[in-house]
Amino acid sequence: MVLTAPEREARTDSGESTASSVEEAFVALSAAAPEGWRVELIEGEIHVVPPANGEHEEIVSEVTGQVRDHRKDLGRYTGVGLRVPDASPTGKVVPDFVIAPKGSFGDSLEYHDPGAVMLVGEVTSHSTADNDRGPKLRGYAAAGIAFYLLIDRERKQAVLHSLPAGKRYTRKVEVDISQPLSLPEPLGFDLDTSEF
């Protein structure tokens, strides 16, 4: 579900002007969302995403498990919110998984600066595939995240985007699901996609 809330001006009882914005609508929807649902602010639009299905979560578990097997020093995070620059002043997303040094998100913030993120990952679903391939890709690149791993279930591909420049990545490596995907340093191992 996508909601676009136009910027408008509202008046308080005292007659003062206040901005009633997309950000305020985002905060209200986030507070009202059922448990397990994600509310994201991407390029000025609010996206309400239902909980993932079991197949989706199995892929997330497999990827993060392989990272753990090869890099025990790194944290593997699911459900962590990131602030990413986009068309709105404060883009806010919740990637399917984030790889960063352990302790990177030890505070009580809901949305974090992405500076510590080494790799961000998304696993497509019918309801999220367009955002995962477009607006989120642009946001992650603009945030300077070195690697964006997209497991595209609809296209049956694993795609590694790297070398961010502005709102795009300048390098893209695609493999068919079931083929290994080389994850360069600092990860430094071949991701086995045969279990996807």
Q: Starting at the edge strand that comes first in sequence, how are the strands of the sheet with 111-112 ordered?
A: 2-3, 45-49, 38-42, 91-93, 81-84, 111-112
Q: Which helix (H) or strand (E) holds 137?
A: helix 135-142
Higher pLDDT, 108 or 88: 108
Domain ranges of the chain: 52-191
The CA-CA-CA angle for residues 136, 32, 129, to 5°, reads: 25
> Is 125 in contact with 33 (CB distance < 8 Å)?
no
* Tens digits of residue pLDDT in 135-191: 999 999 999 999 999 999 999 999 999 999 999 999 999 999 999 999 999 999 999
* pTM beyond 0.85, yes or no: yes
Q: Please state the rounded mean pLDDT for residues 51-57.
A: 95
Q: Residue 154 has which token pair? A: 């609809």
Query: 79: helix, coil or strand?
Result: coil
The pLDDT score that the predictor gives to residue 19 is 33
Instruction: Read off the pLDDT of residues 61-78 as tens digits, 9 standing for 90 and up.
Output: 999 999 999 999 999 999
Q: What does CATH list as the number for 52-191? A: 3.90.1570.10
Mean pLDDT of 82-104: 88
At 53 the pLDDT is: 95
Task: Report residue 21's pLDDT band, with 50, 70 and 90 as the boundaries.
Answer: confident
To the nearest whole number, what is the mean pLDDT of the chain?
Answer: 89
Q: Is the pLDDT of residue 5 over 60?
A: no
Q: Give percent above pLDDT 70 in the chain.
A: 87
Where are the strands (E) in the chain, listed by range? 2-3, 8-11, 17-20, 38-42, 45-49, 74-77, 81-84, 91-93, 97-101, 111-112, 119-123, 147-152, 157-165, 168-176, 181-183, 189-191
